């Protein structure tokens, strides 16, 4: 289990402070692909940054903590403050734009070695890296290149190789295939899926593409305005959602033989700078009533393993 305990993460800006993750409290099962979806700005990347322990100004973890589900090298509990020590070995991060996370003036093979930390036998590790890259059906020579010499798709595949080489317990993938064409996208996602099936890592996978989520994930976590509004088995979240926001997101998925025009999600989420009272989705919600405008719904387990934060979950 990865336990997210009452996480509040805050950006300090010229306009003041804004909670981009605002009280997230949920336990995520290990060994599964967990999809994270929600509109732009709802806090998906911020949540991954908190879990990765990438807490640099202006971002801070204001309250709460993460339990990673594994003990550290010294037998102690791992916290967001020391999770950095385990980057790539136990937890890795595959970003959207690999170019910005790879050092442009260093050959890729060197970056693999650097992730290892204190290297004893560099030649041995490089041989292992080549072998691993080859086992993923990638050309081993790719690691001898500088990042800019590779195509976007190849770079992203190498990023997947890098992010999985040490068999980390947790892989955080933040829109790892956005900006690539559909064919390349698919092959990279298949690669990630195959690796996960073999290694049984926990993958937190952020994407805007609900179709990809449907195919790839075991569990779905739906975020709205810095909060979790629904969590459960992907099958249940897609077929018997307990939140009207999820319904809006998944209704925009076309089904075969259905040719009526999709409405998508109309309206916009509230500004996180405003004082938010009641359910944050109420203004856009077809089911909203007085209680929704006044009282914030708690994230409750309405069915075994299926959580929703909605006063009218039984009517969705």
What residues make contact with Mg ion under the rule CB under 5 A? 45
Pick from 43, 147, 168, 297: which binds ligand ATP (CB under 6 A)?
43
Q: What does residue 189 show for φ and ψ, rounded to 5 degrees?
A: -65, -40
Strands 59-67 and 2-13: antiparallel
Q: Which residues pair with 13 in a beta bridge?
A: 16
**In the complex, what is the shortest distance from the CB of residue 132 to Mg ion, in angstroms, rounded to a whole number?**
28
Which residue of 14, 16, 40, 304 would you call a contact of ligand ATP, by CB under 6 A?
A: 40
Q: Which of 272, 282, 309, 310 binds ligand ATP (CB under 6 A)?
A: 272
Q: Does 100 contact ligand ATP by CB under 6 A?
A: no
Picked from Mg ion, ligand ATP, none, the partner binding residue 286 (CB below 5 to 8 A depending on kind) is none
Report the residue number, 11 or 115, with the smaller CB distance to ligand ATP: 11
In angstroms, what CA-CA distances link 34 with 16, 29, 139, 170? 32, 9, 29, 11
Give the binding-site size for ligand ATP (rule: CB under 6 A).
13
* CB of 20 or CB of 316, closer to ligand ATP: 20
Q: Is 13 in the site for ligand ATP (CB under 6 A)?
A: yes
44 binds ligand ATP (CB under 6 A): yes
Of 29, 41, 64, 72, the one binding ligand ATP (CB under 6 A) is 41
- Pick what 46 binds: Mg ion, ligand ATP, none; C-beta below 5 to 8 Å, kind-dependent: ligand ATP
Alpha-carbon distance of 168 to 175, in angstroms, equals 19
User: Is the CB of 17 or the CB of 135 nearer to ligand ATP?
Assistant: 17
Q: Does 42 bind ligand ATP (CB under 6 A)?
A: yes
Cα 244–chain centre separation:
22
211: partner contacted, choices ligand ATP, Mg ion, none (Cβ within 5-8 A by kind): none
**Interaction between residue 58 and ligand ATP (CB under 6 A):** yes
Among 10, 45, 164, 202, binds ligand ATP (CB under 6 A): 45
Neighbours of 6 (CB within 10 A): 10
By CB under 6 A, what part of segment 102-141 binds ligand ATP?
A: none
Choose, by CB under 6 A, the member of 2, 10, 35, 46 that binds ligand ATP: 46
Name which of ligand ATP, Mg ion, none residue 11 binds, using a CB cut-off of 5 to 8 Å depending on partner kind.
ligand ATP
CB 31, min distance to Mg ion, A: 25
20 binds ligand ATP (CB under 6 A): yes
- The residues that touch ligand ATP, with contacts defined as CB under 6 A, are 11, 13, 18, 20, 40-46, 58, 272
């Amino acid at each position: 289990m990865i336990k997210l305990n009452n996480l509040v993460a805050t950006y300090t800006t010229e306009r003041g402070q804004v909670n981009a993750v605002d009280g997230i409290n949920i336990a995520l099962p290990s060994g599964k692909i967990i999809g994270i979806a929600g509109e732009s700005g709802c806090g998906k990347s911020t949540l991954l940054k908190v879990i990765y322990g990438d807490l640099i100004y202006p971002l801070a973890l204001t309250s709460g903590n993460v339990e990673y589900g594994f003990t550290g090298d010294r037998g102690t509990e791992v916290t967001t403050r020391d999770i950095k020590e385990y980057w790539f070995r136990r937890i890795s991060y595959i970003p959207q734009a690999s170019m910005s996370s790879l050092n442009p003036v260093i050959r890729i093979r060197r970056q693999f070695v650097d992730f290892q930390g204190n290297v004893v036998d560099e030649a041995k590790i490089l041989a292992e890296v080549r072998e691993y890259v080859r086992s993923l059906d990638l050309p081993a020579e790719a690691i001898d290149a500088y990042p800019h010499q590779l195509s976007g798709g190849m770079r992203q595949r190498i990023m997947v190789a890098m992010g999985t080489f040490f068999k980390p317990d947790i892989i955080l993938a933040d829109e790892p295939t956005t900006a690539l064409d559909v064919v390349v996208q698919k092959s990279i996602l298949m690669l990630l899926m195959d690796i996960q099936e073999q290694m049984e890592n926990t993958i937190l996978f952020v994407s805007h593409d609900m179709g990809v989520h449907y195919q790839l994930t075991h569990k779905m976590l739906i975020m709205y305005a810095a909060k979790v509004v629904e969590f459960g088995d992907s099958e249940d979240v897609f077929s018997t959602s307990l939140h009207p926001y999820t319904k809006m997101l998944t209704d925009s998925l076309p089904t075969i033989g259905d040719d009526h025009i999709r409405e998508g999600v109309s309206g916009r989420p509230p500004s996180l700078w405003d004082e938010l009272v009641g359910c944050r989705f109420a203004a856009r919600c077809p089911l909203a009533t007085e209680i929704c405008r006044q009282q914030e719904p708690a994230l409750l387990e309405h069915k075994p393993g299926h959580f929703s934060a909605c006063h009218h979950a039984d009517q969705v």
